[in-house]
Amino acid sequence: MKLSVVIPAYNEAERLPPTLRRVAAALAGRDFEIVVADDGSGDGTAEAALALGLPALRVLRAGHNRGKGDAVRRGMLGAVGDRRLMTDADLSTPIEDLARLEAALDAGADVAIGSRAVADSRVEVHQPAYREAMGRLFNACVRGLLLPGLHDTQCGFKLFTAAAAERAFARSVLDGFGFDVEVLYAARRAGLRIAEIGVTWRNDAATRVTFGRGARAFADLLAIRRNGARGLYD
């Protein structure tokens, strides 16, 4: 079974190479590919990745910066694995936690999402208090408006079967940070089974998520509801 690891990257020339080496080492002996979805970086991110010479690596370049949602969508739809993992360039969740998500797919789930908000999760380095409070409010809104029963949709560590990835991402349109919710909403509308799995997580102080971008994700929830009412995800 081939595994694709999709990593969205925007101006990640420094953080990305160590991540790629770690992922490749962790998956040694498996049939895998690493797909870097470069979101129009201007710092040589793609060149830094390719300079490693990893045989399992592909880089998909965008002509200009469109947003994380667009990068992940291009990566997941451009991947060829039977299972497709999306993870962040900073590896806030260690690649070793992949086994937890794979166990959920082995048990019958179509999608397994890493979570910082269920009983067996472990947050080793917390976000600033204001961001954690905003995250809790956001996820409460997600549960109330779109995805009851899911407690953390924003952890960037998610595993899809190939069929689930193609079904959910092909219908997504959001390019901002609300794309996670949209993809999971499309998956649930399609009747796909979503498992929420506790993972280890460490906040990276160099995160790309600004307060303004996080706030705009609240508006994305209303856009998803409107799109759902129009049948966009059916």
pTM: 0.94
**79, part of any domain:** yes
Among 119, 162, 171, 113, smallest CA distance to 142 is for 113
Task: Summarize pLDDT for 57-91 with one digit per residue, the tens.
Answer: 999 999 999 999 999 999 999 999 999 999 999 99
Determine which one of 39, 97, 152, 180 is catalytic: 180
Parallel, antiparallel, or unpaired for β 83-86 and 158-161? antiparallel
Report whether pLDDT(94) > 60.
yes
| Domain membership flag for residue 104 | yes
pLDDT band at 212 (very low <50, low <70, confident <90, very high): low
Nearest in space to 9 (alpha carbons), one of 74, 55, 54, 78: 74
The string of pLDDT tens digits covering residues 148-173 is 999 999 999 999 999 999 999 999 99
Query: Is 234 among the domain residues?
Result: no
Helix (H) or strand (E) holding 26: helix 16-26
Percent of the chain with pLDDT over 90: 87
Instruction: Give the torsion sign (CA, 225, 211, 123, 91).
Output: positive
Residue 201 lies in a domain: yes
Beta bridge partners of 159: 85, 112
CA distance 11 to 40: 8
219 exposed, middle or buried (CB, 10 Å; 0-12, 13-18, 19+)? exposed
At 209 the pLDDT is 58
Q: What are phi and psi of 138, to 5 degrees?
A: -60, -45
Average pLDDT for 186-204: 96
- Spatial CB neighbours of 189, under 8 Å, sequence gap ≥ 6: 228, 233, 234
Of 24, 42, 45, the C-alpha closest to 33 is 24
Provide the domain limits for residue 145.
3-229
* Tokens describing residue 212: 């303004």
Residue 97 forms part of a structural domain: yes
Q: Which of 59, 56, 40, 39 is nearest to 48 (CA)?
A: 59
- Rounded average pLDDT over 164-187: 96
| Catalytic residue flag (residue 88) | no
Number of domains in the chain: 1
Whichever domain contains 219, its CATH number is 3.90.550.10
Report residue 83: phi and psi, to 5°.
-130, 145
Q: Give the strand pairing for 158-161 and 111-115.
A: antiparallel
